[in-house]
Structure 1
C-alpha cells in the first residue's frame, strides 16, 4: 500500500512560474491513501485544490493555523496579535504589498501575509517587540503568525482525525514552513528548489525541483509499494 501524503503546494506541486502543474491531476486523484495539502495560503486555496482533484478536503492552511479533516475545523493562533504587528509595521512606513484588493489576506483567519517585496528587516524588528509572534519567510510571502503554530502541529491534528499515526505520512515540501512537517512525518523529501532550512531538515533532497521532484518521490513510493 502507498503511504499517506503531506504535500506542500507552492514550489512543490507547482511549476517554476507558480502554476499548479497539470501532473497533479494525473498523479493525485487515484492515490490510494489520504493526501493532506499543507500550505501557507488561506483556507479556501487548498480546499479548492482538493475539490478539483476529487480528493477529500483534508487540508492544512495558514502554516498550521487552520486544519480541516473529517468534517472538523481546528483554528489556532492569535490573529489580533499578528494584525497589530502589521499595523505597527504600516505606521512605520512599511507596506503589505499586495495592492488594493489583497486577496492574499481576505480570507485569512489566523495570520497576515506580506509580499516578498516588503521591508523584511523592519517587519522583523516590529515583530520582535511583540511576545509570541514570529515572521516566517516561505519564499512566497512573509507570514506574521503566532509562535507554536506550525504545519507539523497541524499534521498531528489531521492525522488524529483520520485515525493515523503522523509517522505514517510521507511529506514533500520546499520551504522553512515545511520543516515542522518533516519533523513529524515518518519520511520527508525536499525538492531541489527548497530553501536551506527545508534541505537541512528533510531526510532526502531529491535531484529535481518543483513538481518534477514531487513526481519522482511519488513514483518511488509507488514502486516500493508493489
Structure 2
C-alpha cells in the first residue's frame, strides 16, 4: 500500500513553463492514499487544482502559512508584518512587480510574494528589520514569518487525516520544500531542484519537472510493492 503523498506544484507537477503536465492528474487522482498539495501559492490555486484533478481538497498553501483539510482552515501566520514590508519596500521606490491587479497576492493571507525582478538584497534587509525572512522559490521572493514553512504545517494536516508526518512521502524542487522533506518520512527531489532541496532529499531522481515527479512515484510504488 502506497504512502500518503505531499507534493509541490511549480517545478514539480509542471513543465518548465509552469503549465501543469496533464500526465500527473491521473496519477494524483488514482493515488491510493491521501494527497496533500503543498505549495507557495495562495490558497485558491491549490484548491482549484484539487477540484480539477478530482481529489480531496487537502492543501498546505503560502509556504505553510495556511492549510485546508476536512472543511477546516488552519492559519500559521498573518499578513500584518508582510504588509509592513510591502509599504516600506514601495516607499523605497520599488514595486512588488505583479501589475495593478496583483493576482499573485490578491488572495494571499499570511505572506507576501514579490517578483524576482526586484532587488533581493533590499527586500531581505527590510524584511529582517520587521523580524521576517525571505525565501526564494525560484518563481518569487516570499516574505514570511521565519518559523512558517510547509514542514511545520504538515503535522496538523497529517493529524487531521489520521497520519503521522513521517508516514508521508514528499516530492518537490524548491528551497521552500526543504522543511517539508525534513518533516516527511521519505523525500524525493526532481532533477531541476535547487541545491538545498537536493541536499535535504533522500533521493534525487534523474528526470526534471513533471517527468521527475512521475519517476519519483514509480519509485514510491516499487518500495510499496
What's the TM-score, normalizing by structure 2?
0.98
The within-5 A match list for 1:183-222 is 183-222=182-221
Q: Does residue 123 in structure 1 map to residue 123 in structure 2? A: yes
CA distance in 2, matches of 1:25, 1:184: 25
Please state how far the C-alpha of 1:43 moved relative to its aligned partner.
0.2
Q: Could you tell me how far apart the structure 1 residues matched to 2:105 and 2:190 are?
A: 27
- Structure 2 unpaired stretches of 5+: none
Deviation of 1:223 after TM superposition, in Å, equals 2.7
Aligned ranges for residues 1-226 of structure 1 at < 5 Å? 1-131=1-131, 133-226=132-225
| Structure-2 separation of matches of 1:140 and 1:225 | 33
Q: Do 2:26 and 2:53's aligned partners in 1 also have CA atoms closer than 8 Å?
A: no
> Aligned with 2:116: secondary structure?
coil
Contact 1:13/1:210, CA 8 A, preserved across alignment: yes
Over residues 3-38 of structure 1, what are the superposed CA-to-partner deviations in whole Å (9 max), with x where a residue is unaligned? 100000000000011100111122111110000000
The Cα shift of 1:225 comes to 2.4
1:70 positional shift: 1.4
Aligned-partner Cα distance in 1 for 2:76–2:142:
15
Classify the secondary structure of the residue corresponding to 1:103: coil
- Secondary structure, aligned partner of 2:144: strand
User: After TM superposition, what 4+ stretches of structure 1 lie above 4 angstroms from structure 2?
Assistant: none
Tell me how many residue pairs correspond in the alignment. 225
- 8 Å contact from structure 1 (residues 77, 110) kept in 2: yes
CA displacement, residues 57-95 of structure 1 (integer Å, 9 cap, x when unaligned)? 000000000111112110121311111011101111111
Inter-partner Cα distance in structure 2 for 1:3 and 1:56: 16
Counterparts of 1:51 and 1:174 in 2: how far apart (Å)? 23
Cα displacement (A) at 1:121: 1.0
Q: Report if aligned partners of 1:29, 1:55 keep a CA contact under 8 Å in 2.
A: yes
